[in-house]
Copies of this chain bind each other. A is one copy, B any other.
């Protein structure tokens, strides 16, 4: 128990391309990694290294995409949102909120044209962010010889509150949801105390340094005792048990 954590930006030298060695880029930017370190990596770095980028000029909008963008927005982006989602949750002039195939509810199905590889390109979410986290963790652990955790992060809007916050979409090597069994309220108000979404808190902490610099694909969180081995998908709430929606 340290009572102190550090969040350190890990800055890449240049643009990340498909096939790039993400673990190598992280290790080159980080101090020597230790047991318990958490590497929070921006999903864009993961997506780019996995080739999850699309040139908009190569996208042909379907009739449904044209309809969804009739009031504003780029029909080619609408087409990508349709391909990457299982459901359009809400639309408003130029903006689509979608539920992705992973079950994440986010603007434009998490697809972003900003900070893309080149002008006119869009970055998609990884196909399986938990698998991406597990692969990166395995590679980092092998080379660093330390027991690590990895969180794949995006910034997302929320219900009820303004602004985007760093959010965990993938995780490996830690319980994304940490139970504080001893902290359960004796009156039965479990929702407030049952479990803390520490992977989301780590993603938010990392965003405080990720958001500030250009080309920072990752942050190292040191001093947090990562334990367990949960998944980012553990944080997606079943609508049937969602009292806040």
Contact residues of A with B, CB < 8 Å? 1, 3-9, 11, 72-74, 77, 89-90, 92, 94-95, 97, 105-108, 112-114, 155-167, 176-178, 180, 183-198, 200-202, 204-205, 207-209, 211-213, 216, 221, 224-225, 234-237, 242-245
Contacts of A4 in B (CB 8 A): 6-9, 209
Which B residues touch A197, using CB under 8 A?
A: 161-165
Q: Are B243 and A114 in contact (CB under 8 A)?
A: no
Which residues from chain B contact A200 at a C-beta distance below 8 Å? 161, 163, 165, 204
Known: A7-B205, A205-B201. A107 touches B196 (CB 8 A): no
User: Is A95 touching B189 in the complex (CB atoms < 8 A)?
Assistant: yes
Q: Which of B108, B156, B180 contacts A189, CB < 8 Å?
A: B108
| A187 and B74 contact, CB distance less than 8 A | yes
Which of B95, B195, B208, B242 contacts A5 (CB under 8 A)? B208
Residues of B within 8 A of A234 (CB): 162
B5-A6 in contact (CB<8A)? yes
* A112 touching B216, Cβ below 8 Å: no
CB-CB under 8 A from A192, the residues of chain B are 106-108, 112, 114, 155-157, 164
Q: Pick from B180, B208, B209, B235: contact of A162, CB below 8 A.
A: B235
Contact assessment for A185 and B5 in the assembled complex, using a CB-CB cutoff below 8 Å: no
Distance in Å: Cβ of A135 to nearest Cβ of chain B: 24
CA separation between A183 and B215, bound complex, in Å?
13
